[in-house]
Amino acid sequence: MATYLIFFNQQWVGDHDEEWFRGRGPLARAVVEEIKTAGHYVFAGGLVEEIDQAFSADATSGTLTFTDGPYTETKEYLGGLTAVDVPDVETARMWAGKIAEACGWPQEVREFK
């Protein structure tokens, strides 16, 4: 088995009204339940959209410091993720496709080392 991370950047979501998002929530939750039933579920969740609530921990200088806000200035930031433990890359692709269809925006997939 291999663990894959299926994730999206918040900017990939696009502009949609509240009704559109309300319609997508049950679809996404249904896919997560399907992943659980298949025994491939590790973790799934969306992240808080307010980037100013992020903070960074950095010990590269030899002293641990915490900074409010994201570590780097960037136009894109992680919006949500799902980790699956699957037998092969084809199964990871299948789950990523189902999540992309349910959410209505692209997903990126990477295997954990």
E strands, the chain, in order: 2-9, 41-46, 55-58, 65-68, 78-86, 108-111
User: What is the three-class DSSP state of 55?
Assistant: strand
| Amino acid letter for position 60 | T
> Cβ(8)–Cβ(105) under 8 Å?
yes
pLDDT at 50: 81
pLDDT at 79: 87
The single-letter DSSP state of residue 46 is: E
pLDDT at 90: 98
> Cβ(85)–Cβ(5) under 8 Å?
no
pLDDT at 32: 97
pLDDT at 70: 65
> Cβ(108)–Cβ(66) under 8 Å?
no
pLDDT at 78: 81
pLDDT at 72: 63
pLDDT at 73: 66
pLDDT at 100: 95
Residues of the chain with pLDDT under 70: 70-75
Report if pTM > 0.85: no
Measured from the Cβ of residue 96, the count of other Cβ atoms closer than 10 Å reads 20
pLDDT at 1: 95
